[in-house]
Amino acid sequence: MAVNVLFVDDEEYILKSLERACSDDDAIRPLMAGSAAMAMEILQKEEIAVIVSDHRMPSTTGTDLLRVARTISPDTVKILMTGYTDLPTVIEAINSCEVFRFIVKPWDNVGLLETIHEGINRYRMVQSLRRVDESVLRSLGQTIELKDRYTKGHCDRVASYALMIARSLKLPEDMVETIKHGSWLHDCGKIGIPESMLNFKGVLSPRDFEVIRKHPHWGAEVARKAELPKTVINIILHHHERFDGSGYPEGLAGEAIPLEARIVAVADTFDALTSNRPYHKAFNRPKALGILEQLKGCSLDPALVDLFLQRIDDGGDPE
């Protein structure tokens, strides 16, 4: 089913070019606005999945428009189009408007449509997450896996290992449930990462790696919009923090990292070690357990690793 994508630009020929770019895409119903005032009218009348706004317009800036759009239609994914890029514009757009992507003029139609579809996926994810239905949450985790052919079954396995740890800690059952949900969704921010990066064989460029490092923030933002529990948000945001403080996105260390995120980090790491990835082939179980032991205190919480290893040695099988 097509969704509404609103394009805003004061140049009529730009709007016509954008409309032509979308003409063969059945997933997009393009709506055109030649001014910020016209865009506001449309936002108040229509459900808009994605808004793509020019930055420099006579009556207002794109960031001003998107800042107001954030209030009127908070779930609408915001994309800023500009003929130039400068750091102050980027910082303002990110901080005040929750801009999802930037498109630089002149654009490439393939890249334009790819970016819009990433925005549509993000919008649909927020709508689905609001249902807080287990089957939907798990299905979303599995959908994200489809972007990365190396991670089939990853979210289920991570959830199983995390539940094994959580139940060994005798955590409250409601927290155990949210840890399961967070495990399924821990990589949901990858919905906005091109598949070419996720499936790249070899060492990513520093620029591409910086894009990869943004997925916890992107995923946590989606979870916040969907008003998911704090435990789920913490897992999505902090599962790449390292116990020694050298992780991302916030460089938290030790017990400053939420417990639920430390649990999922152990589960995620073990599954990554025992699965084929673009950058390494799967290690056998003894080798993977040995590497996990070596990661105690640097990447992973030593106590949680010890607990995981004990459960594995005792024959405790994840669900």
Active site residues: 190
Give the 3-state secondary structure of the chain: CCEEEEEECCCHHHHHHHHHHCCCCCCEEEEEECCHHHHHHHHHHCCEEEEEEECECCCCEHHHHHHHHHHHCCCCEEEEEECCCCHHHHHHHHHHHCEEEEEECCCCHHHHHHHHHHHHHHHHHHHHHCCCCHHHHHHHHHHHHCCCHHHCCHHHHHHHHHHHHHHHCCCCHHHHHHHHHHHHHCCHHHHHCCHHHHCCCCCCCHHHHHHHCCHHHHHHHHHHHCCCCHHHHHHHHHCCCCCCCCCCCCCCCHHHCCHHHHHHHHHHHHHHHCCCECCECCCCHHHHHHHHHHCECCCECHHHHHHHHHHHHCCCCCC
What is the CA 172 to chain-centroid distance, rounded? 27
The one-letter amino acid code at 145 reads E
The one-letter amino acid code at 34 reads G
- Taking the C-alpha atoms of residue 159 and residue 179, their distance in angstroms, rounded to an integer, is 8
φ and ψ at residue 7, rounded to 5 degrees? -105, 135
